[in-house]
A and B are shown apart, each in its own frame.
Chain A
């Protein structure tokens, strides 16, 4: 789609399935209407797209499905404002616009042969879920896979069915947690904040990569824990989620210093994030 003269023109996609993850978070499975696009669309884990609800506008979400699973793409969004509310009004069979994929991605080839530690909070599982599934599809290329995932309450966990699947696999260690007070009577996971639970799980840092996504506050408390566990800043990856409009380095909205998050990111190592002006 990049060779088109109008770089702002989205592709049309049909909502093939809707999954309610939580009361305000929803997953769309999308199939491109143009057959050629359906066959050729490709992306890398970590990239994002601009999704439109015509009449409301565009919104930025990561592509949450795995690049290894062709045919459709998925996004998972929380309804928080104008565009996301309009998207939420849509039904199976309705049309959305998709512009992308944009941005950089997780350098998965560099992770071959290593242990992976995924750390996610709340709605921030989608940008890691794309990579998690890709890694599970290529399972033999990686060492141990640990996933630490938490949300405020049990109800706020996304991809509950997949959490169950990961829990049952012998080649994945899933540690799920909810904030104190967020657990119901049947909760069988941990109770505690993600950084504390991560510290307790104490994944080995040797030959390991940590992938962290979550609200800024969670990231802020998780990085020192990873440091104590022995992870170097270069071995920690995260994503920045600055406000975006164009997604392609034109509109001047997403910069952190002279870094354009839409072009240079959204994936950065902790070392890169620490080198930026603290304005994100």
Chain B
């Protein structure tokens, strides 16, 4: 078994950076911890669950998909080749963040392949970290995951008593990274720190899906979502939400076409040009959020768009709690 000390983990970050790789990891940013590009191993802050998810590593908030230059005579398009994207290592990512990446592979590789996402995925090596510090909004276990789940990780770190980490190579990418920096790892053992203990018990996910199947119309939607502000915070913080908009920025003469996050909770998301809006009140939009995560995506790709990270619960300004909603459906 391989282990690595905290000091060597920071040295690993430095080594990866000096190899020319982009390294993204939890880092203290003002009053919070966020997954951000690191400038050195000293910045790595593994104590807290980052406020935003790690999906930005693969699906940036906003990214250029082409540029245009328009003269009187002709239009020149600048192709943005996804292949130019840098090799990246995502380090210290929690299981609830990491598990969302393979889930998103399904939609981005289905039929038309979105290489902006897929190339980033291919070029990213993920070093996951077993979670020892959850809070009462966490419910990964109810989603069939666990604080020690290595789903999606290439290399997986388990914190040990005394401050070092056990390292398990999960994929070839992980093995390669281990081999490339073999000097920083040691053979050894240790006793794992106690894992986080999500409060919510098991949910019957099949039952929830079956209930959703038959309750497109139900008073529940009105009860839960009448107070939803449609702020979109839940979607933006979610590691699995992937809806986006495509907009041109710049003038008519010159600019860039960009893909940027969007949310089905926004009032104009489905607005037609005629003024007709298929989801014109908030409960319909919240229903779509739940249906998409726990039914439509399951129907289509046999996966759920939720890993139980609890971020949407912590952030919701009106206290809407997705875990409580699932629990309520589960108990019906």
Contacts and interface: CB of A to CB of B under 8 A. Distances in A.
Nearest to B274: A215
Contacts of B255: 54-55
A108 interface: no
Given A8-B259, A57-B248, A258-B296, A250 B115 contact: no
A105 interface: no
B180 interface: no
A81 B274 CA distance: 10
A95 B74 contact: yes
Contacts of A8: 65-66, 246, 257, 259
Contacts of B110: 249
Contact of A5 (B82, B247, B264, B279): B82
Nearest to A13: B75
Contacts of B247: 57
Given A5-B82, A55-B255, A255 B292 contact: yes
B252 A258 contact: no
B295 A258 contact: yes
A113 B160 CA distance: 75
Contact of B273 (A2, A80, A246, A251): A80
A253 interface: yes
Contacts of A81: 273
Interface residues of B, number: 56
B107 interface: yes
A180 B246 CA distance: 41
Which residue among B114, B276, B300 has the maximum number of chain A CB atoms within 10 Å of its CB? B114
A242 B270 CA distance: 7
A12 interface: yes
B48 interface: no
A263 interface: yes
A91 B254 CA distance: 19
Contacts of B58: none
B279 A9 contact: no
A52 B67 CA distance: 13
Contacts of A95: 70, 74-75
A244 B310 CA distance: 30
B319 interface: no
Contacts of B288: 255, 279
A54 B248 contact: yes
A277 B246 contact: no
Contact of B276 (A55, A216, A248, A251): A216
Given A8-B66, A95-B74, A252-B292, A58 B114 contact: no
Interface in B233-276: 242-248, 250-253, 255, 257, 259, 262, 264, 269-274, 276
B243 A9 contact: no
Q: For the side of the interface on A, what is the size category?
A: 35 or more
Given A5-B115, A263-B111, A56 B269 contact: no
Contacts of A55: 68, 70, 248, 250-253, 255
Contacts of A249: 107, 110-112
B82 to A, nearest CB: 6
Contact of A252 (B68, B79, B242, B271): B242
A5 B75 CA distance: 21
A255 B297 CA distance: 11
A6 B65 contact: yes
A252 B244 CA distance: 7
Contacts of A216: 276
Nearest to B251: A55
B315 interface: no
Contacts of B206: none
Given A81-B273, A242-B270, A252-B264, A6 B259 contact: no
A9 B79 contact: yes
A280 B79 contact: no
A141 interface: no
B204 interface: no
18 contacts: A2-B112, A6-B81, A7-B112, A8-B246, A9-B79, A12-B77, A54-B257, A55-B255, A56-B252, A57-B248, A57-B257, A78-B273, A243-B272, A249-B107, A252-B244, A258-B300, A279-B288, A280-B278
In order of increasing CB-CB distance, the 5 nearest A-B pairs are A55-B252, A252-B243, A258-B296, A95-B75, A80-B273
Given A57-B247, A249-B110, 16 more contacts: A5-B82, A5-B119, A8-B65, A8-B66, A9-B77, A52-B248, A80-B274, A84-B273, A95-B74, A216-B276, A245-B244, A249-B111, A250-B114, A252-B292, A253-B243, A253-B262
